Chains A and B, each alone.
Chain A
Amino acid sequence: MSDQAELLPGTLDLLILKAVSLGPLHGYGVLLRIQQISGDTLFIEQGALYPALFRLVRQGLLKTEWDRSENNRRAKYYELTAKGRKRLQEETDWWNRSSKAIAAVLSARPQET
C-alpha cells in the first residue's frame, strides 16, 4: 500500500464528479472507477465515499435512482445533474490552473529565482 498516495484534501468531490460524469454509477462503482482511472495510485477509504456522495446530492450536483447492478443486486445509482456538470468543468479548470502553477514553482531552477 505504500505506493498509494493519500488524497489531497478537497479533491474527493472532484474525483467523484469526474467518475460519475462518464455514466451513472453506484457507490462501489464510483470507487472502482476512480481506482481504475487513477491506476490504483490513490487510496480512498471506502466508507468515506458515502458522506461525500450525500453531500454532493444535498448540493444538487448529483441525483440518485435505485436500479439493478450488473450482478443483479439492488443498488443506488448516482448521476450528474446539469449543475454538477458545470461544477465539474469549473473545478477541473481550477485544478488544472493551480497544478500548473504549483508545477511551475516546483520546477523552478536557481537562476530563475
Chain B
Amino acid sequence: MNFIPYLRSLGARFFRRARIDNELEEELGAHIQLHADRLERAGLERAEAERRARIAFGSTARFGEECREQLGGNFLDTLIQDVRFSLRTLRKSPAFFLVSVITLALGIGATVAAFSVVNAVLLRPFGFSNSERLLWIYSQRPDNPRTNFSLPEYCDYRDQNRSFDGLAAIASFNPSLADSGEPERVQGVKMSANAFSILQLRPLIGRMLIAEDDRNGAEPVVLLGYGVWARRYAKNPDIIGRYINVNGESRQIVGVLPSSFALPNLDTDIVVPLQPESDPRRNARNSVNFLRMVGRLKPHVTVQQAHAELDSIRQNLHRQYPDTYTGKIGLTIVPITEEIVTNVRSVLLTIFCAAGAVLLVGCINLAGISLSRAGARQRELAVRTALGATRSRLARLLLVESAILAIIGGSLGLVLEISGQGALLRLMPADLPRIDSFAVDWKVFLFATAVTVIATLACGLTPAWLLSRSDLRDALVSSNRASAGGGMQSRLRPVLVASQIALALVLLANAGLLFHSFARLSSEQPGFDATNVLTVRFSLPQVTYSDRAAIVQFYEKLQPRFAELPGIQNAGLVSILPLVPKSISFIHFTRPDQPPSKPENTPSTNYRIITPDYFRAMGIPLLEGRHFTEADNGDRPPVAVVSSVLAKNHFPDRSPIGQQVMIDDNDAKPRPVEIVGVVGPVKQANLETAAQPDMYLPLRQAHKDGVPFLRNSIYCVARAKPEVGGVGYNAGQLRASIRSVDPNVAVGSVRPMTEVLDAALASRRSSLLLIGSFAGAALFLAAAGLYAVIAYGIQQRTREIGVRLALGATRGGILGMIFKEGALLLGAGIAAGLAIALLLARLVASQMYGISEYDPFSFAVVSLLLAIISLVACWIASRRALNVEPVVALRCE
C-alpha cells in the first residue's frame, strides 16, 4: 500500500515544510561531517577533511532539490510555482496579457453563446419524454406534402391503427381571451384529450387534459401556455379554478403548460379540448381538413411499419369515399423533434461553426503571439535549461501560462455571454422555437470548460512543441538575437498567419453569400405597397357573431368610422394578411370546361376574403376587369377576383373576366363563382417563393362554412395619407374606432405593413448580422495576425535592413521586399480560403436566394475586402522598416 506513506510525505511537504527543509539540511550536513570525521581519522586537517567531504558529496542544493521532488505532491508544488512565475511574467507584459485575454474572451464568449442557443433549441429535451417515439402525421397532397385531415378521417385512423399507443389530433385555434382585463387575441390549439398522455406531458401547475374533458357535455376547460400565464397573470398560481372567457364561452382554467413545451408550426398560448365525438363534423365526410395528428409508436414497431399500416387505412378510405379523398395521395410522417427544429438546424449549425471559426482564428493568433514571445524568451529559457530545468518542465511552464490566459479569458467570455444574452436573443432569428427559454445550464458550463481547455492546448502547445525541438544551446551561445528565432519558428509563423487568413475568408465568403442573398431578397417586389399602411388584427366573439350577417353588420358600422378618421385614405378588411407566418388558406378549384384529368391534379389557389377597399389600401394594382363593390352581396351571383398568376396559369387561352370556376370552399360541394377582375401577383406566404395563384372573394358573399375562421381572425388594412406625417399618428385612432363599434372585440396591436415586411426578412437579417459580426471579428484578427508577423519580422531583421541600407538599397526597395512577403502570405491564405469556402458552399445552399452558392460576385468581393484590409495592415507594419537608421541598426545588439 503506497498510499499512506505517500500521503504522509505529501502532508509533510505542505504542513511541515520548514521542518522538512531543516531536517534535510541536517541530514546532508551530517553525511558530510561523518565523511569528514573519517577523513580526519585518516590523518587530514579538519578544515581540509570537510572541504574534501563537501566536494565528494556534490551540490547539496541540487540533491536537496531532488530529495524534495521525491516527496509526494511534487506535481502540485511545481504547478503552484509555475502559476506564480507565469503570473509574474504576464504582469510584466500587460499588452500581451490584455490582447490575449480579450481575444479569448470574445472567441470563447461567442462560441459559448452559440452553443447555449444550440443547446436550448436542438439539445434540450422537449416538454415531453421519449420524444423520439413521437411521430407527427400529415396528409400528403400532390402540391403539398403537409396538409390536414378532416375529423372523420382522424377518427378512422385513431380507431383502426394498431401501431400507436394512441393517436391524437391537434388543430390551430386562435380565439380571443377576455376576463376583467382588455380582450386579447391568442394563438392556441384544440387537442384531443388523449394528446397529453401521448406526449407524456406534465403540467407546470394544475392538471393536463383528461379523457373526461373530451366527453360530450363535459364542463368546458382551458389550459394556459406559459407565456400567457406569465404575461397576463404575472405567474399567479391561484388562477387555477378561475373562469376565463374564450371566444365568448366561459371556460375553467385547469392547468398551465411548462415553458419548454412547443409544437411544430403551432403556437400554444392556450389549449382547449377538441371534443371530437360531439363535434358536428364528426360524420361529415366532406368537412373541412383542419387536423394534424400525433402518435406515440408502440414499442418494437418501426416508423416504416407504422407508415405502411396507416397507408393501408388511407387506401381503404380512398376506396370507400373516392370523391372526398381524391387529393390525399399519401401520408407524411416525421419524428416530432425533427419537425420542430428542422427548419432552423442548418442556420443554427452555421452560426455555431462560425463562432467556432472565430475562436480558432483567435487561438491561432495567440499561438502566433506566444511563438514570438517564446522566440524573444529563448535566451531566458536557455539559461533556465542550463541551470537544470528540464524541457518538459519548460514546456509545462508555457502551457501553464496559456492556461492562465484561457481560464481568465474563458471566465470573462462566460460573463460576457450571460450578460449579453438579452442582446443575443434580439439578434436571434425570431422563428426559433423555444428560444425565449434558453438559459445557462451545466451543459453550457461543461462546454465552456471544454472550449477553454482546447484553447489552452491550441495556444500553448505550438510554442511548447517548438521549444522541445529547438536546440537551446544555440540560443545561449549565439550573440545574435535574429538567429535565435530558429528556423522552425520562422517557418511556422507564416503558416499560422496564412491559415488565419484562409479561415477568415471562409467566414467572410459565407457572410458575403448571405448578404448578397439578403440584398436580392429585400429588393424583391412583394406585390403590394407597404409604405404608409397600417394593419391590425382582431377577432369577433363567437356568441354575437355567429353568422355572416353579423360580421357584415360589424363591417358596415366600421366603415363610416374609418371614413371619419382624418389621415386615412382607404381602409379594407382581409382574412389573412400577406407574409404573416403560420397562416395558410387555400382551396381547390376547377374550370368547368377543363375538368382535371385525374382528381389529384385539381388546381389550388390561395384564398382570401376581402372588402372592396382592400386592394386600394394595400396598393395591389387592378390589371383587368373591376374591383368588388358593396353591391356584391349575398343576394347577387357570387364573384371573385383572381391574381394575374392564376389568370396566366389557368386561362392562357383567353381573358378570365366573365369566366366561371367551381371553388371548393365549403363542406358540401364545389360552388360556381364568376371572375370579375384580375389583380397583380402578391407574395402571400414568404418573400422567397414566387407568387402563387390568388383568389379573392367579397366579405358580403363569404360562405357560411368559412364564418368561424373569419370570425377568429380578420385583419384591417388602412392606408394613411402620405401628408399626415407617418403612420404612428393613426395607430391609436385605428384601434379606438374598431373598439368603438364593439368593446368585446379583441383587437391586437397596430403594426405598420413595413414591419410585417421587415419581419419576413428578420430571420435572414439576424443570421446575416450574427455571421457578419463573426466574419468581421475573424477579419480583424487575421489582419492583426498579419500585422504582427510582418512587424515581428522587421524587428528580427533590423540588422539586415541596416546592412542593406548601408550598402545602398533604397527605402522603397526595402519596403517592396517586406511588402512582397506579406502579399505572398495573403495570396496563399486567400487561395486556401477560397478552396475551402467553395468546398463548403454546398452546406449553405439552402440559405441562398436568387444567387448560386458559388456566386462569383460574392466570392470576388469578400476576397477583395480581405485583401485590402490585410494589405493596409501589412503596409502599416512595413512602414516600420522605413524608420530604420542604418547606423543604429548596425549597432543594435
Is there a chain A Cβ closer than 8 Å to B893's Cβ?
no
**Which of these, B5, B28, B31, B59, contacts A57 with CB under 8 Å?**
B5
Per-residue contact bits, chain B 101-139, to A (CB 8 Å; 1 contact, 0 not): 000000000000000000000000000000000000000
Is there a chain B Cβ closer than 8 Å to A58's Cβ?
yes
**Which of these, A27, A50, A57, contacts B9 with CB under 8 Å?**
A57
**Which of these, A31, A48, A73, contacts B33 with CB under 8 Å?**
A73
**Which of these, A31, A46, A58, contacts B58 with CB under 8 Å?**
A46
Q: Which residues of B contact A18 (CB under 8 A)?
A: none
A24 to B227, CA, bound (A): 80
Asked if B71 contacts A54 (CB within 8 A), the reply is: yes
Is there a chain A Cβ closer than 8 Å to B56's Cβ?
yes
Closest CB-CB distance, B677 to chain A, in whole Å? 98
Asked if A59 contacts B67 (CB within 8 A), the reply is: no
Asked if B63 contacts A51 (CB within 8 A), the reply is: yes
Q: Which residues of B contact A71 (CB under 8 A)?
A: 34, 37
Is there a chain B Cβ closer than 8 Å to A45's Cβ?
yes
A50 to B65, CA, bound (A): 10
Is there a chain A Cβ closer than 8 Å to B426's Cβ?
no
Most buried by B among A58, A60, A76: A58
Is there a chain A Cβ closer than 8 Å to B60's Cβ?
yes
Given A46-B57, A50-B67, A76-B27, the answer on whether A58 and B33 have CB atoms closer than 8 Å is no
Asked if A75 contacts B27 (CB within 8 A), the reply is: yes
Is there a chain B Cβ closer than 8 Å to A99's Cβ?
no
**Which of these, B1, B27, B37, contacts A50 with CB under 8 Å?**
B27
Is there a chain A Cβ closer than 8 Å to B474's Cβ?
no
**Which of these, A26, A29, A47, contacts B59 with CB under 8 Å?**
A47
A71 to B6, CA, bound (A): 33
Is there a chain B Cβ closer than 8 Å to A74's Cβ?
yes
Within 8 A of B (CB), among A47-83: 47-48, 50-51, 53-55, 57-60, 69, 71, 73-76
Within 8 A of A (CB), among B62-81: 62-64, 66-67, 69-72
Is there a chain B Cβ closer than 8 Å to A94's Cβ?
no
Asked if A47 contacts B30 (CB within 8 A), the reply is: no
Asked if B9 contacts A75 (CB within 8 A), the reply is: no
Within 8 A of A (CB), among B610-640: none
Considering only CB atoms and an 8 Å cut-off, how many residues of chain B contact the other chain? Answer: 30
Is there a chain A Cβ closer than 8 Å to B807's Cβ?
no
Asked if A45 contacts B58 (CB within 8 A), the reply is: yes
Given A50-B63, A54-B70, A58-B9, the answer on whether A74 and B2 have CB atoms closer than 8 Å is no
**Which of these, B4, B23, B37, B63, contacts A48 with CB under 8 Å?**
B63
Chain A interface residue count: which class? Answer: 20 to 34
Is there a chain A Cβ closer than 8 Å to B377's Cβ?
no
Asked if B58 contacts A47 (CB within 8 A), the reply is: yes
Per-residue contact bits, chain B 12-44, to A (CB 8 Å; 1 contact, 0 not): 000000000001001110110111010000000
Closest CB-CB distance, A22 to chain B, in whole Å? 18
Query: What is the chain A residue whose CB lies nearest that of B3?
Result: A60
Asked if A76 contacts B23 (CB within 8 A), the reply is: yes
Given A47-B60, A75-B34, the answer on whether A27 and B70 have CB atoms closer than 8 Å is no
Most buried by A among B23, B27, B58, B60: B27
Asked if A76 contacts B30 (CB within 8 A), the reply is: yes
Asked if A60 contacts B30 (CB within 8 A), the reply is: no
Most buried by B among A45, A47, A60: A47
Q: Which residues of A contact B63 (CB under 8 A)?
A: 47-48, 50-51
Asked if B72 contacts A58 (CB within 8 A), the reply is: yes
Is there a chain B Cβ closer than 8 Å to A28's Cβ?
yes
A89 to B48, CA, bound (A): 42
Asked if A50 contacts B26 (CB within 8 A), the reply is: no
Asked if B57 contacts A47 (CB within 8 A), the reply is: yes
Asked if B5 contacts A59 (CB within 8 A), the reply is: yes
Per-residue contact bits, chain B 46-59, to A (CB 8 Å; 1 contact, 0 not): 00000000001111
Asked if A54 contacts B67 (CB within 8 A), the reply is: yes
Asked if A75 contacts B2 (CB within 8 A), the reply is: no
Asked if A60 contacts B66 (CB within 8 A), the reply is: no
Closest CB-CB distance, A51 to chain B, in whole Å? 4
Q: Which residues of A contact B66 (CB under 8 A)?
A: 48, 50-51
A34 to B545, CA, bound (A): 111
Per-residue contact bits, chain B 768-781, to A (CB 8 Å; 1 contact, 0 not): 00000000000000
Query: What is the chain B residue whose CB lies nearest that of A52?
Result: B70
**Which of these, A28, A45, A55, A59, contacts B31 with CB under 8 Å?**
A28
A69 to B30, CA, bound (A): 10
A69 to B27, CA, bound (A): 12
Closest CB-CB distance, B459 to chain A, in whole Å? 35
Closest CB-CB distance, B36 to chain A, in whole Å? 10
A25 to B71, CA, bound (A): 21
Asked if B2 contacts A59 (CB within 8 A), the reply is: yes
A92 to B89, CA, bound (A): 50
A27 to B24, CA, bound (A): 12
Q: Which residues of B contact A59 (CB under 8 A)?
A: 2, 5
Per-residue contact bits, chain B 332-374, to A (CB 8 Å; 1 contact, 0 not): 0000000000000000000000000000000000000000000
Closest CB-CB distance, A79 to chain B, in whole Å? 14
Q: Which residues of B contact A47 (CB under 8 A)?
A: 28, 57-60, 62-63
A51 to B26, CA, bound (A): 15
Asked if A75 contacts B5 (CB within 8 A), the reply is: no
A59 to B62, CA, bound (A): 22
Query: What is the chain A residue whose CB lies nearest that of B64?
Result: A50
Query: What is the chain B residue whose CB lies nearest that of A61?
Result: B5
Given A60-B2, A60-B4, the answer on whether A51 and B56 have CB atoms closer than 8 Å is no
Q: Which residues of B contact A50 (CB under 8 A)?
A: 27-28, 31, 63-64, 66-67
A–B pairs, 14, beta carbons within 8 Å: A27-B27, A28-B30, A28-B31, A46-B31, A47-B57, A50-B63, A54-B67, A54-B71, A55-B70, A58-B70, A60-B2, A60-B4, A69-B30, A71-B34
19 additional A-B residue pairs with CB within 8 Å, beyond A57-B5, A58-B5, A59-B5? A27-B31, A28-B30, A28-B35, A29-B34, A45-B58, A46-B35, A46-B57, A47-B57, A51-B63, A51-B66, A54-B67, A58-B9, A60-B1, A60-B4, A69-B30, A73-B30, A73-B34, A74-B30, A76-B23
Q: Which residues of B does A touch, CB under 8 Å?
A: 1-2, 4-6, 9, 23, 26-28, 30-31, 33-35, 37, 56-60, 62-64, 66-67, 69-72
> Which 3 residue pairs are nearest across A and B when measured between Cβ atoms?
A47-B63, A54-B70, A60-B5
Q: Which residues of A does B touch, CB under 8 Å?
A: 26-29, 31, 45-48, 50-51, 53-55, 57-60, 69, 71, 73-76
